[in-house]
Amino acid sequence: MISVEIGGVPLRAERYIFQLGGCEVPPLDSMVLACHMGGARATAGRNPGRSFDFLAGAATVFQPGFASRWTFFGAIDMAMFHFLDPNHDMVRQLQRLLAARAKSPTFSDPLVHASAQQVLAEIARSSTPNAGFVERASALMVEQACRVLEGKTGRHLPPDALQLGRLQGVLEWIGQNLSSELSNAELAERAGVSESHFRRIFQEAMGMTPHRYVLRLRLERVHELLTRTSFSIARVAAQCGFNSQSHMTACFAAAYGITPARARQQARA
């Protein structure tokens, strides 16, 4: 777990890696934006009859006092952003948007996910992260979450039960086989639907195309291997499913703004 307080919209960011199993979360002291950063499916709720599914790329907002039981169907990377100032304008706006809802909204938005990823990456990169960058990225994340809840952008989840059942096995298989080609045709076959239907239900459920989802998971795995192992960059590229080191470098630089070699140097500094 990592934990750090962020200015701007006052937040405490926490990141957890959960394994197969479950846990009880006591009543929350503050409003929390939870982001599923990658991995297997999870379910959460006060009781089994009111639980909801939480897939990679999804986010939700919990009210203060919310207590829940979580079940993890494999390894999961989870970020929790605690709002520290209930009187902040953005927090008040979230409160208003949530007030009319009977349960916590679950949604998928690429900008919320990308902003959360950048905040977490900057915090993990150094013992003295760039405070200005982290504040701006976290403010963007919260503002975009508000826009999603207002219905201006993003997609609310989950899809119907049949689509979710088809997808969850595919999502778990993707996470376990990132070194493979993972074509849409192969993924659709595993889901038991046509390729065009698979692309549609995947977009509806995850808020992004299968290709974009696979690329995001591959780049997250690249970042993990670069910072936690001594594997050569060429080996990292091969293990994460890139057809060449140069292809991986171009994709990584486009996503993170630095090269893989530079990311490794920063992690070791």
Domain ranges of the chain: 2-156, 161-268
User: Is the pLDDT confidence value at 161 over 60?
Assistant: no
The pLDDT assigned to 177 comes to 92
The pLDDT assigned to 185 comes to 93
pTM over 0.85, yes/no: no
d(CA 23, CA 35): 17
Q: Could you tell me which CATH number the domain at 2-156 has?
A: 2.60.120.280
Report which of residues 26 and 128 the model is more confident about: 26
**Cα-only R_g, the chain:** 18
In 151-244, the DSSP E strands lie at 155-157
Pick the CATH number of 161-268 from 2.60.200.20, 3.30.43.10, 1.10.10.60, 3.30.70.260: 1.10.10.60
User: Is the pLDDT confidence value at 74 over 80?
Assistant: no
d(CA 70, CA 21): 8
User: Is the pLDDT confidence value at 19 over 70?
Assistant: yes
In the structure, what pLDDT confidence band is assigned to residue 116 with cuts at 50, 70 and 90?
very high
The pLDDT assigned to 173 comes to 87
Q: What is the mean pLDDT of residues 101-113?
A: 80
| Percentage with pLDDT > 90 across the chain | 25
Burial of 147 (0-12, 13-18, 19+ CB in 10 A): middle
